[in-house]
Amino acid sequence: MSESAASTSTGNAGEAAAKRPAVQLLGITKAFPGVVANSDVTLVALEGEVHCLLGENGAGKSTLMNILSGMLEPDSGDILVGGAPVEIDSPRKALQLGIGMVYQHSTLIPTLTVLENLMLGATGLVLDVRGARARLAELAGMLGVQVDPDAVTGTLALGQQQQLEIIKALWRGSKVLILDEPTSMLTPQGVAELAAVLVRLKAHGLAVIFITHKLHEAVEMGDRVSILKQGRLVGTIEPGELRAASPEELQARIVRIMFGEATQEIADVAELERSVEGHRPRRELPSELAIELLHVSAAGDRGQVGIHDISLPVRHGEIMGIAGVDGNGQRELAEAVAGQRPLAAGEIRLDGRTISTLSVARRERLGLRYVTDDRLGEGTVSRLSVALNLVLKRIGEAPFWRRGVIQKGAIDAQASELVARFDVRTPSTETRLGTLSGGNIQKVLLARELSFEPRVVVYNKPTYGLDVRTTRAVRARIREQAERGVTALVISTDLEELVDLCDRIAVLSRGRLAGIVANEPGAARRVGELMVGRTVEG
Amino acid sequence: MSDTAATESAELAAARPGRLGALADTLVRSVGPVVLALVAGAVILAALGRNPGTFYGDIVEGGLTRGNGLQESIIRAAPLLLIAAGLIVVFRANIWNLGIDGQFLLAGVIVAGVASPLDDALPNGLALVLLWLLAGAVGAVWTLVPAFLRAYYGVNEIITTLMMTFIGINVANLFIKGPFRDFESTNVPQTSVLPVERRLPDLPGTRIHAGIVVALVALVVVHYVMTRTSFGLRLNVLGANPRAAVHFGLSVKRLIMVSFAVSGMLIGFAAAAEILGVWGYVRADWDPAFGLIVVPLVFLARLNAIAVIPFVALLAVLSIGGDLAARRAELPNDFLLVLVGLILLFMAITEYLGRKRELGQSYLTEGLRQSLRRRAGR
């Protein structure tokens, strides 16, 4: 940091003129079936500048960078490299144009040495080992790091492996370096080393695009911060402002941009906000607990945070929000409650009875339901019919199966009723589920989970990726269920949604419970503080 | 609002006209590789200086029209159909049981070794039923190790089943040369022979043994189970989306163990049909290697237990008629393997082109393809 401060103070006058755009993305739009991943995004990376791209998972950061690195082609929009329009149709082309990318997950081959990994892309018949050594020494010097060319890559610390990834990305003389969530696997010390490397890269005139969802990193490491939300660029913080404001002010500002309150100009959000009339009136809730988590811990998947010591009492008919930046243990929490993830410690009680060791099916039978956020990946079987998908959690049970034999009549009748009740738009109940739109698939999921007397429902990002109308329908459904005494755990990264729906909001940070906030005026700010506070601390 | 309505109706419209096209795709994908293989086979024959017309004519004559040709072909089809049934059960569940030959041979040898003494001790009918069940049990037991390792430790069952085949074939030979050896017979080690009149009964008025009936019943049952029962749906869900299976609360480990066992059992039945119906004994180093010939047929039939019947019938005719045709053309009778290889080659090409131009569905279910890809190290 001090180094960058020094360079700016000495070169302040000529700076504006010296910084030319290395790469310009102009009006990029990219749609996938059912979702617009990037909508008219314009982003300019200047030489000698770290440009932070901030946004939730699914905000379109990765799509945008995959377009720049040649993995995807945009539907519309232009890309300029060094001022000249280019077409990047392959990763090889991107490299030729001087765009290097460091992916979130390692692309190194652990059994090869450092030098071998770097020479993997070499062309020509004979490997130029001596040249490679010289190039490695040159780049290591430029980054200010020490790398043993003959070390076996798998034995290096993660931070060193990442430095090697950066060297690999710069191997062919890249002028633009894209780092995708580079700190997600690093220790605090590794992060500090990375920051030092970035400073040196800037000094050499490289343009760095730094993708992250951590606010404090964006503020600390970035010269310029652009914020993506739902595929759109919703805000940019210029270098001048970044230097002028304190980190706390900046983070607060970014939270406002990311989570609403300052986004009235976006029509969709505005429409939603009209439906939020102040805050929910305090409801009278019975004092008995519907579901209770007692010191629950569970391991995360490889490279993901688990959950640690979470205690959460939820009352009958209560809507408990679970807030937090994506990837802070939300999915693990939901799976632990649903029974898909074994507990490492602690206990879960449903209506006072422990269910910690019960199977997924047994918990389902007791009325514990899980509306997963991965609708196609685990929530449904897309090549089966809508009707079958509606009973997939009841395979083999009467009245849909008798003595193991399917009863089409019963399944169809159930399907027709649910399709009507939940307003699923489908040509017929026999239609393959995969041909429906995302919103209708979500309705199928809700219909399945909310049938057969639910008692406690875990909703994981229930409105993620849905259009405004369906979003409203889903929220209305959650409220209506709560009125009937069905308890809800609503996991969402959308703070407005939680404020709109919940009685209380629990905040997850790095797999731990950062606090529980009653949904009163000002709750959003406190939740935001809890989210940020922990992030800064870590 | 109108926006979403428009996209919805567009999606609905897009979903409908696909029906006919999908049928055509299925036809192209299923029959195309076979036709192309026959054409390419003809080219190869011509290049070898043989008349392809005569060769294929001889196949038809040998496998269908000549005296016992049709009956021979039907007899050959029985074990192949049972193997196909066994493969469909596991492939549907996204499990690669490629240990067919080991399961088949071990079941066959044990049945052949036990057949004579058991038949001496018990009434013929009861002995045959018991032997049949024994074959099924041996086949099922030989899947236990790969099934357990896959279910509980996620060990790649492609490798374990192939290794178990290697072991199974050698253990089978050990049995023939050891406990089951009949020292009264020739100098090539073999088991004692079950006399012809004590083998599976023939269909009235034919030489076709009852195995074909069992095979067809097995296929119908497998088809019914896969399409109409809760067990079949569980297997299909596991095969289509393993993560969803966990989410739906299916006991994945048990499903893997059971589908593996059923597969091994049906393959054991295939061995019973072949030994009790055709051979009556097993000689050392005998290995018909049916397994890997059936695998492509099962995929051509899209894992449909009824649709696989014509493909197996074709293979049986090729196999029986191929002997005659090869003899007359003075070619080694492995020419059948060339045709099967060509079918596989054209399946691969169709698959590749299909991926490129979105030509219908893949031969593999989504789950199978992804598991293969994962195992290929991606």
DSSP B112-137: HHHHHHHHHHS-HHHHHHHHHHHHHH
Q: Which residue of A has its CA nearest to B378?
A: A107
Contact residues for B348 (Cβ-Cβ < 8 A; gap 6+): none
Distance CA A320, CA B318 (A): 67
Distance CA B28, CA A5 (A): 68
User: Could you give phi then psi for residue A353, rounded to 5 degrees?
Assistant: -105, 135
A155 has a pLDDT exceeding 70 = yes
Q: Which residue of A has its CA nearest to B12?
A: A427
Give chain B positions within 8 Å (CB) of A392: 237, 244, 248
Q: State the pairing for strand pair A21-32/A76-81.
A: antiparallel
Distance CA B93, CA B233 (A): 10
Q: Where are the beta strands (DSSP E) in A197-261?
A: 207-212, 224-229, 232-237
Distance CA B362, CA A393 (A): 27
Give A360→chain B minimum CA distance, Å. 5
- The continuous run of DSSP H or E covering A31 comes out as strand A21-32
Per-residue model confidence (pLDDT) at position A161: 85
Reported confidence tier of residue A253, pLDDT bands at 50, 70, 90? confident
Reported confidence tier of residue B15, pLDDT bands at 50, 70, 90? very low
Distance CA A102, CA A471 (A): 35
Mind listing the pLDDT tens digit for each residue in B212-270?
999 999 999 999 999 999 999 999 999 988 889 999 999 999 999 999 999 999 999 99
Coil, strand or helix: which one is A285? coil
Distance CA B43, CA B40 (A): 5
pTM of the model: 0.71
Mind listing the pLDDT tens digit for each residue in A191-239?
788 888 899 999 989 999 998 877 778 888 889 999 888 788 888 888 8
In the DSSP assignment, the letter for residue B277 is I
Closest CA to B238 of A371, A444, A365, A381: A381
A411 has a pLDDT exceeding 90 = yes
Per-residue model confidence (pLDDT) at position A217: 80
Mind listing the pLDDT tens digit for each residue in B319-352?
888 888 888 888 887 777 888 888 888 887 877 7
Per-residue model confidence (pLDDT) at position A505: 93
Per-residue model confidence (pLDDT) at position A277: 40
Are A435 and B241 a contacting pair at CB < 8 A? no
- The mean per-residue pLDDT over the stretch A410-421 comes to 94
Question: Out of A379, A388, A432, whose CB is closest to B247?
Answer: A379
- The mean per-residue pLDDT over the stretch A345-359 comes to 93
Please answer whether residues A286 and A455 qualify as being in contact, where contact means their C-beta atoms are separated by less than 8 angstroms.
Answer: no
| Location of structure tokens 């005719």 | B317
Reported confidence tier of residue A144, pLDDT bands at 50, 70, 90? confident
Per-residue model confidence (pLDDT) at position A385: 92
B5 has a pLDDT exceeding 80 = no
Are A381 and B241 a contacting pair at CB < 8 A? yes
Per-residue model confidence (pLDDT) at position B2: 40
Q: Which residue of A has its CA nearest to B4?
A: A467
Give chain A positions within 8 Å (CB) of B303: none
Please answer whether residues A30 and A38 qualify as being in contact, where contact means their C-beta atoms are separated by less than 8 angstroms.
Answer: yes
Give B316→chain A minimum CA distance, Å. 33
> What is the CB-side half-sphere exposure of residue B327 using CA atoms within 13 A?
9
Torsion sign (Cα): A228, A230, A232, A234: negative
Contact residues for A126 (Cβ-Cβ < 8 A; gap 6+): none
Share of chain B above pLDDT 90, in %: 51
Q: Which residue of A has its CA nearest to B5?
A: A425
Contact residues for B282 (Cβ-Cβ < 8 A; gap 6+): B105, B108, B109, B112, B113, B172, B176, B190, B191, B275
Are B4 and A379 a contacting pair at CB < 8 A? no
Reported confidence tier of residue B309, pLDDT bands at 50, 70, 90? very high
Mind listing the pLDDT tens digit for each residue in B27-50?
777 888 888 999 999 999 999 888
Reported confidence tier of residue A275, pLDDT bands at 50, 70, 90? very low
Distance CA A94, CA A101 (A): 9
- The continuous run of DSSP H or E covering B148 comes out as helix B144-153
Per-residue model confidence (pLDDT) at position A250: 82
Q: Is A295 left (phi over 0), alpha (psi -120 to 50) or beta?
A: left
Bridge partners, A459 (sequence order)? A371, A490
Question: Out of A363, A382, A435, whose CB is closest to B15?
Answer: A435
Token representation of residue B15: 């979903």
Please answer whether residues A51 and A19 qualify as being in contact, where contact means their C-beta atoms are separated by less than 8 angstroms.
Answer: no
Mind listing the pLDDT tens digit for each residue in A504-517?
999 988 888 989 99
Mind listing the pLDDT tens digit for each residue in B92-145?
998 999 999 999 999 999 999 999 899 899 999 999 999 999 999 999 999 999
Per-residue model confidence (pLDDT) at position B366: 60
Contact residues for A166 (Cβ-Cβ < 8 A; gap 6+): A102, A143, A177, A179, A197
Please answer whether residues B135 and B268 qualify as being in contact, where contact means their C-beta atoms are separated by less than 8 angstroms.
Answer: yes
How distant, in Å, are the alpha carbons of A90, A427, B104, B143 from that of B129? Answer: 63, 51, 17, 22
Are A395 and B243 a contacting pair at CB < 8 A? no
Reported confidence tier of residue A365, pLDDT bands at 50, 70, 90? very high
Q: How many CB atoms lie within 10 A of CB A13?
A: 8
Reported confidence tier of residue B367, pLDDT bands at 50, 70, 90? low
Q: Which residue of A has its CA nearest to B246?
A: A340
Per-residue model confidence (pLDDT) at position B19: 63
Q: Where are the beta strands (DSSP E) in A182-229?
A: 207-212, 224-229
Task: Select, from the ranges A2-6, A437-441, B180-184, B271-275, the one with the highest average predicted confidence (pLDDT).
Answer: B271-275
Give chain A positions within 8 Å (CB) of B229: 401, 404-406
B196 has a pLDDT exceeding 70 = yes
User: Could you give phi then psi for residue B229, rounded to 5 degrees?
Assistant: -115, 165
User: Could you give phi then psi for residue A76, rounded to 5 degrees?
Assistant: -150, 170
Per-residue model confidence (pLDDT) at position B12: 39
Give chain B positions within 8 Å (CB) of A432: 15
Per-residue model confidence (pLDDT) at position A259: 65
Q: How many CB atoms lie within 10 A of CB B322?
A: 25
A65 has a pLDDT exceeding 80 = yes
In the DSSP assignment, the letter for residue A437 is -
Contact residues for A384 (Cβ-Cβ < 8 A; gap 6+): A392, A432, A433, B236, B237, B240
**Least reliable range by pLDDT among A45-59, A287-301, A448-462, B128-142:** A45-59
Please confirm whether the linkage preceding A399 is cis (ω < 30° from 0): yes
Contact residues for A278 (Cβ-Cβ < 8 A; gap 6+): A521
Contact residues for A70 (Cβ-Cβ < 8 A; gap 6+): A88, A89, A90, A91, A92, A93, A94, A99
Length of chain B counted residue by residue: 378
Distance CA B343, CA B36 (A): 7
- The mean per-residue pLDDT over the stretch A364-368 comes to 93
**Least reliable range by pLDDT among A57-61, B268-272, B274-278, B323-327:** A57-61
One-letter amino acid at A420 equals A
A129 has a pLDDT exceeding 80 = yes
Q: Which residue has the higher pLDDT, B312 or A260?
A: B312
- The mean per-residue pLDDT over the stretch A160-180 comes to 88
A427 touches B: beta carbon within 8 Å: yes
CA angle A320, A321, A322 (to 5 degrees): 120
3-state percent helix, strand, coil for chain B, nearest multiple of 5? 75, 0, 25
Mutate to test the interface with B, among A392, A424, A437, A472 (most CBs of B within 10 A): A392
Please answer whether residues B192 and B182 qualify as being in contact, where contact means their C-beta atoms are separated by less than 8 angstroms.
Answer: yes
Give A75→chain B minimum CA distance, Å. 18
Q: Is A42 left (phi over 0), alpha (psi -120 to 50) or beta?
A: beta
Q: Does the model's ipTM exceed the 0.90 cut?
A: no
**Least reliable range by pLDDT among A56-65, A513-522, B72-81, B139-148:** A56-65
Reported confidence tier of residue A537, pLDDT bands at 50, 70, 90? very low
